[in-house]
Structure 1
Amino acid sequence: MTLKGEGKGPLPPLLAQYVELRERYPDYLVLFQVGDFYETFGEDAERLARAINITLTHKTSKDFVTPMAGIPVRSADSYLEKLLAQNICVAIADQLESPADADGLVRRDVTQLITPGTVTDDKLLRPDATYLAAVATGEGYGLALLDLSTGEFRGTQLYSKAALFDELRRYRPAELLLAPELHAQESFREGCCERFSVMVTRGRFDESEAQGALAGHFGALPTGLDTAALLRAAGAVLSYARHTQRGKLPQVTRFVRYDPSAYMQLGETALATLEVFRTAHAALGEGGRTLLSILDATRTAPGRRLLQAWLRHPLLDRELIEARLGAVEAFVQDGVLRREVRKALFKMHDLERLASKLVTERANARDLCALARSLALVPELRRLLGARGERALAALGERLRVPEGVCERVGAALVDDPPLKITEGGLIRSGFDRELDGLRARAEDARAWIAALEAEERAATGIPTLKIGFNGVFGYYLEVTRPYLERVPPSYRAVQTLKDRQRYVRDDLREREREILRFEAAAKGREYEVFGLLRGELAAAADAVRDLGAALAELDVYSALAEVAAEGRFCRPTFSEGALEIRAGRHPVVERFHPFIPNDLTMSPSERLLILTGPNMSGKSTYLRQSALIALLAQIGSFVPAERAVLPLFERIYTRIGASDDIAGGRSTFMVEMSELATILQNATPKSLVLLDEIGRGTSTFDGLALAWAAAEYLEARTGAYVLFATHYFELTALEGRLASARNLHVAAKEEAGGLTFYHQVLPGPASKAYGLEVAKLAGVPAKVLARARALLEGLEATRNDQAKGVVDALLAVDVSRLSPLEALQLLYELQDRARGLAPQPT
């Protein structure tokens, strides 16, 4: 690295040391400790100043001037958070010795590497899982995910880019490592950055290196790494994490291979459309109105993370779903139990992350006290669950096992409210360690001697105002006010003169002070040593603590889903082999913020294509989405917002709702719509729930209508999927008489004197009209525009009716038996030209 600046000659030693560290970590912003500040120089200083909006200054020496910017060490966390939010990786270069002890330049070295995906500091971590992900190719894509804060390490093999993007959308990693073959593809790399707001990094993906790293870490190559792509991805993510953590990953104890096809598939589009984790308007500050936000009544961070995991992967196994529902129902029925359990969980700390901090030696004294307090709550939770007798709760209660001796050991060793720093003393109780007690006693004896000295010297000198004080400059001193200065003994040595008093020291006082300092320093060192031994001893319980944390997270989710169900009047769903019946269903998010009209939905294998018509703003899209959300909730094991819900188990939910483009990818709104439609037509099965809204609106009326008509026919005839099809093409309502499983529904609305009234009620049959002009009026379109539109509409409808009547009249007037083949063909061409604009006929 060449340091940006002006001047001639060699760099000053401090800047040379900075440059040397900067060259070792070229991909990081190096924060270089100089006393109470972390400094940066040259281009890094300009980058830091821009990123966190601080003043840029200059480092000036005899021969060199360079830009400089810094942040206070004591408030570094707040600035680090801003840097990570901008995907800036940071290397912390700390002073390794006191300037007073240094022989020349203070030794400095990088002590921490901090990247968005490898954060472990509590002050920088969010409660949600923070994933570091890696992707490699080879017979598809290998995806590996690692959360360093808990040690969760998992991966899967995927066979299409769409499936990969679906998983990345579910997990939303904070940092993504790409194999060289993918990193070299600018469109893929930039697409990941923009699509998932993720920092993309180049990693080490050599297959033999990956195998060695994994086998070396686990003792043997984990099972499940049976493809080259997944092996490379898992090895890359592990190696990168070990690099940033200085080679230590004791919290990562196993690798889990998972299969997305074992769960309900929620594609990238469906997750976005249904607003499961993020709203379409999250950038406008409305990120809280999501399905997750409505369900998240959890009391602990592990509970919230588990709820997110359940929403990422709804179940397909009916037995597992029913087991979850049974636990939720027990809490719904017993409000007292639910309240008491939730009260205890609220006091519970994040045991999953505490377990990781134990084995990585990052736990401080407060963490150990938090662990002990949390474990002390568990017996009461077991008692509460055991008193109910339900099998689901009893089984969960059996998993709430407290590691033996942890609470007692922490209680005996640590004071009730220990300080944050573990190097400054004040951590260990008296009586826990004999050596520490001895050091403290000797320091206390010296203090007692000093305390007694004041009374003794007053008596010996006859100075009634004499007192002993202490400050950081002179240490202990004897202080005498001015009227008694003539009585001061010769053995007192003056060290400070004030306006009305004099301060002195004595050799024996200095000796006692040195004793106190020596014994206090030794005591602090011993406390740190004792704490380290205690922490190391408790690390053996880390796996048990982690397992307990997982069980408590499950308990938290059950009680949270029950709380939501009880407050929202949700019902327990049941499952069928094909029938779908939702009585008085509601949208779980919309009903929280607006008055809501419940609606019914009935479908079956013989009635599985519903054509929904009605005006804009009447609630068609809401009706579609609430049906999918009810199915999704049921399959995570949650009660659902309805009076009654009987559902088949869906393997996948597809959505094509709303208008969006992909300008960066060169795709128009219509192209995006057709791509999503193509995916649905190619992949939907009888176990799919398909939501379609306004297919074909991005092109001409006739092209769009033809596409919508053909798509509906194909879905009904070829896929067997359950389809909810909202449309403004009234011509599609003719499908009810043409396709066996098609049925018309409409959302009620009525034009009254005061304007258009929406009833938001879904009723059988087609809508009477589109009410497009009425909705435009409600939106504030100028009256002159509306009047002109109405006149044009009347003319278009009259022309179309005349055309249709003319075609029919011409056809009826012909005596077909007298036409030659050539005349019949000519007549057919003429009628076809006149029929342009009429509804397409099914093939």
Structure 2
Amino acid sequence: MMAQFLEIKEGYPDALLFYRMGDFYELFFDDAVAAAAALDIALTKRGKHLGEDIPMCGVPVHSAEGYLLSLIRKGFRVAVCEQLENPAEAKKRGSKSVVKRDVVRLVTPGTLTEESLLDARRHNYLAAFNDVRGEGALAWVDISTGAFHVMPCPHLRLGPELARLAPREVVLSETNTENSAEAVTDAGASPTELGRSAFDSANAEKRLIDLYKVGSLDAFGNFSRAEMGAMGAIVEYLDITQKGKLPLLRPPVKELSQGAMQIDAATRRNLELTHSLSGGREGSLLATIDRTVTAGGGRLLERRISSPSRDLNEIHARHDAVRFLLEQRLICDTTREALRNVPDIDRALSRLGLERGGPRDLAAIRNGLAAAQELSDRLSQGDLPAKLGNASQRLKGHDPLIDLLDQALVAEPPLLARDGGFIAPGYDQDLDESRQLRDEGRSVIAGMQAQYAEHTGISALKVKHNNVLGYFIETTATHAQKMLNPPLSETYIHRQTTANAVRFTTVALSDMETKILNAGNRALEIEKGLYSSLTEQVLKRAAEIGETARALSEIDVATGFADLARSDGWAAPKIDDSRAFHVLAGRHPVVEAALRKTGSSFVANDCDLADGTNSADIWLLTGPNMAGKSTFLRQNALIALLAQAGSFVPAKEAHIGLVSQLFSRVGASDDLARGRSTFMVEMVETAAILNQADDRALVILDEIGRGTATYDGLSIAWATLEHLHDVNKSRALFATHYHEMTQLSDKLDGVENATISVKEWEGEVIFLHEVHKGAADRSYGVQVAKLAGLPESVVARANVVLDALEKGEREGSGQKAVIDDLPLFSASAKPEPETKMPQYLKDLELVLHDAHPDDMKPIEALSLLYELKEIMND
């Protein structure tokens, strides 16, 4: 057995080998040591190899999926080795023959299909990057849904595109691994190396032609050599990992790089599009706006948010669908209610295609198609916009398959085909007859028990069953003596004596057992055959079923957007080919949702950049910390993104010229793994913006240059703003604490100053969160430090230093001289001057000082309230 293990393991040196032994997957040698540590299970030993103990651990087959998920998440690949025959078959070749085993599947991060291993509302992409003489291409597939895409992708765009797709695994050529592995790991994916031949475009074309059983790929589009090689590498890798059982892949769809708004990895992270900065989904834009009710709709929404469209016709069609559903509330609500009953058709179909499905997947197809048919009937009653009308048409045409599955399957089938009991009574005559014999056999056995009890005169006699003896007659030792002697011994054959009972059989009982057992096995075999037949019928219509699943997702996203717009008061944006950016009373969707939970309201603000007349291209935003500058920047970026994703926007109105690229440099953190300081990270991100942004881009920059010396930072921020204005000519929001930069509005025609209002009252700062034209004269940093809880002595000292520095600057004295003139720090700072308290506050304080609410009677509390009211009136 160990010789067989070592032989199989040799073919999979980079994977943990799950070696099937009965009801367990066992791991040996280094695999066992690694798995035991990763899964926190016991490490044992079994036998010896080369004189040393063999480490061993194992997991039960029935709960293996959970362990597989843990290993995949920790970066392991797992080769699943199954028994290809039972021990009885092996013994026919000799008493010491080993059961045949082989790897049936290689489990990797990008090739998961099991429902329990996947997030239902997220795609699980496997990608491949290919480079042919400087021409790059990226292909990606989700084998759990069959989605297959490819696009041209220069090496420079690999990082941003991987950030958009968030694949779990990326296949790279052995000649390209060194150059691309860093971009892959930065995107959180696992790099996998394949030989150069897997990326050969000629071989790839043959693979794809064989896969789709066509004479040419021309019907799917024109693909470059790099694109063909990337797609071929994915098919080759799937063939390797699935051991020849290729999944149902839709024809490849070629995407154009200019078809979607370009958003780099830093911007996605800063804007928290699909994940918050803490790493979870909660607190992200996606989590806040997700009103979808189906798994497919959730996945489509994530794609829309990750890849906002730049196609005006597509954007307008999406908005028309949302507008219709917003106006037709009854249709919207009934549609959403019907969608709640739709299972995950795509993933059920994929599992059936990979032979990993079961009766419940067939039931999911049946229920999903039936719900789609019902939904189509409801939608046909309205005059639908193009997007919904097209989707509605794709819901129809499955009546024969629905009827077949409805007649064949029970309402709630079991998970596995081997469990049986999923074919409905009346569907197959042979199955019904076998079931009748199997089930009525129990009543026959009960009748035989009564007959034997009467014949022997032993009322306590029972007919029982176990897996060793089959059916047997059991009686107590006291009564057994009667059956062991003639004449009863001629009929009852002794089988076994136990401590408390004696067991017998008869020829008639043995014959009946054979009939009953054969009936049960025959019924199960018939069901398995019918399962295969039904699966075949479903897979014949896989393309049409896939279209229906996508149509359901489209409708789900549209109704979700409509529900969001209705409940949160979002407006339809005007999107055109201009450079306009006009937002009236815009809001940040995530911050507003968080404030709503606390009962607070969000302060809406306008933003008016370029409209081709008198508006500025760039707003230079100044104001104190904590006033809401970063929120204002982010909300306008999100409004543009939501509008082009097909959603209404959190504003009273919005007019947005098509945004080609979205860049954000908000917040900062260091990158210790690469030896980058906070300032270095900031500069790298800023450089990426200045080198890539075009005149259709929307750029938001927050406090550029804050990570270095004041004058260095000011000079970098100044030059950056000038470059955006003169060279990139982008629409931008630029927040800064360098008040000197407000002078640029006088020198650059496209720059306008804006600030956020604050009020000072009795030494305190009140943030109004209102943006208006103009410039701030100070940043209120010391006041914010006080709010944060710095010791009063520190705050007081900071005020002293600030006053001295500002005085020195006004008088033109050198900075060193100013520092030299500062009084030495005193740990016990002078107390702040006491503010005189108004008389009415003193009266209130006196009254309330002696009031004890816990001890008051209701009449006393009412009396106190009147007294307080009187003080306020006076």
Give the TM-score of the pair, scaled to structure 1.
0.89
Residue number among 113, 124, 132 corresponding to 1:120 in the alignment: 113
C-alpha separation between the residues in 1 aligned to 2:119 and 2:216? 32
Residue 627 of structure 1, CA deviation = 0.4
Does 2:338 correspond to 1:344? Answer: yes
Change (3 A) 1:698 1:434: same
C-alpha separation between the residues in 2 aligned to 1:151 and 1:593? 37
Partner amino acid for 1:89? R
Residue number among 580, 594, 604 corresponding to 1:598 in the alignment: 604
C-alpha separation between the residues in 1 aligned to 2:25 and 2:562? 49
Change (3 A) 1:93 1:500: closer
Does 2:361 correspond to 1:367? Answer: yes
The residue aligned with 1:237 is: 234
Partner amino acid for 2:752? R
Does 2:184 correspond to 1:192? Answer: yes
SS at structure 1 position matched to 2:87: coil
C-alpha separation between the residues in 1 aligned to 2:86 and 2:226? 48
Render the CA deviation track for 1:653-677: whole Å, top value 9, x for unaligned.
Answer: 1112211333333433323322322
The residue aligned with 2:349 is: 355
Provide structure 1 residue ranges, at least 5 long, that are not aligned to the other structure. 1-13, 807-843
Does 2:11 correspond to 1:24? Answer: yes
Q: Answer yes or no: is the 8 Å Cα contact 1:263–1:316 preserved in 2.
A: yes
Does 2:695 correspond to 1:658? Answer: no
Residue 443 of structure 1, CA deviation = 4.2
The residue aligned with 2:860 is: none
The residue aligned with 1:712 is: 721
Does 2:429 correspond to 1:434? Answer: yes
Structure 1 stretch 110-119 or stretch 706-715: which is displaced more?
A: 706-715
Alignment of 1:50-449 (within 5 A): 50-61=37-48, 64-103=52-91, 104=96, 105-127=98-120, 128-138=122-132, 139-161=134-156, 163-185=157-179, 188-193=180-185, 195-206=186-197, 207=200, 208-218=202-212, 219-220=214-215, 222-223=217-218, 224=221, 226-282=223-279, 286-392=280-386, 393-443=388-438, 447=442, 449=444
Render the CA deviation track for 1:587-606: whole Å, top value 9, x for unaligned.
Answer: 00111112321111122244
Render the CA deviation track for 1:491-513: whole Å, top value 9, x for unaligned.
Answer: 21233456765432112211211
SS at structure 1 position matched to 2:381: helix
Residue 391 of structure 1, CA deviation = 2.5
Q: Answer yes or no: is the 8 Å Cα contact 2:158–2:183 preserved in 1.
A: no
The residue aligned with 2:31 is: 44
SS at structure 2 position matched to 1:746: strand
Query: Among the aligned pairs, what percent are the same residue?
Result: 37
The residue aligned with 1:827 is: none
SS at structure 1 position matched to 2:768: strand
Q: Answer yes or no: is the 8 Å Cα contact 1:260–1:313 preserved in 2.
A: no
Residue 179 of structure 1, CA deviation = 1.6
Q: Answer yes or no: is the 8 Å Cα contact 1:463–1:487 preserved in 2.
A: no
C-alpha separation between the residues in 2 aligned to 1:627 and 1:66? 62
SS at structure 2 position matched to 1:494: strand
Aligned length: 786
SS at structure 2 position matched to 1:39: strand
C-alpha separation between the residues in 2 aligned to 1:149 and 1:447? 43
SS at structure 2 position matched to 1:532: helix
Does 2:803 correspond to 1:794? Answer: yes
Structure 1 stretch 99-108 or stretch 338-347: which is displaced more?
A: 99-108
Q: Answer yes or no: is the 8 Å Cα contact 2:48–2:54 preserved in 1.
A: no
Q: Answer yes or no: is the 8 Å Cα contact 1:358–1:536 preserved in 2.
A: no
C-alpha separation between the residues in 1 aligned to 2:629 and 2:392? 44
C-alpha separation between the residues in 2 aligned to 1:653 and 1:615? 26
SS at structure 2 position matched to 1:478: strand
Residue 449 of structure 1, CA deviation = 4.1
Alignment of 1:520-599 (within 5 A): 520-576=520-576, 577-594=578-595, 595=600, 596-599=602-605
Structure 1 stretch 499-508 or stretch 149-158: which is displaced more?
A: 499-508
Partner amino acid for 1:213? R
Q: Answer yes or no: is the 8 Å Cα contact 1:624–1:691 preserved in 2.
A: yes
SS at structure 2 position matched to 1:589: helix
Q: Answer yes or no: is the 8 Å Cα contact 2:714–2:738 preserved in 1.
A: yes
Residue 191 of structure 1, CA deviation = 4.8
Give the TM-score of the pair, scaled to structure 2.
0.86
The residue aligned with 2:846 is: none
Residue 404 of structure 1, CA deviation = 3.3
Residue 755 of structure 1, CA deviation = 2.3
Change (3 A) 1:510 1:772: same
Alignment of 1:645-724 (within 5 A): 645-724=654-733
Q: Answer yes or no: is the 8 Å Cα contact 2:260–2:309 preserved in 1.
A: yes
Render the CA deviation track for 1:462-518: whole Å, top value 9, x for unaligned.
Answer: 333333222333322223456654653222123345676543211221121122212
SS at structure 1 position matched to 2:109: coil
SS at structure 1 position matched to 2:427: coil
Change (3 A) 1:168 1:803: same
CA RMSD in angstroms comes to 2.3
The residue aligned with 2:764 is: 755
C-alpha separation between the residues in 2 aligned to 1:469 and 1:192? 62
Render the CA deviation track for 1:185-228: whole Å, top value 9, x for unaligned.
Answer: 4xx424532x1221111013321433432333234553556433
Residue 322 of structure 1, CA deviation = 1.6
Q: Answer yes or no: is the 8 Å Cα contact 2:258–2:310 preserved in 1.
A: no
Q: Answer yes or no: is the 8 Å Cα contact 1:59–1:67 preserved in 2.
A: yes
Partner amino acid for 2:181? R
Alignment of 1:770-785 (within 5 A): 770-785=779-794
C-alpha separation between the residues in 2 aligned to 1:60 and 1:477? 41
Partner amino acid for 1:240? Y
Change (3 A) 1:701 1:449: closer
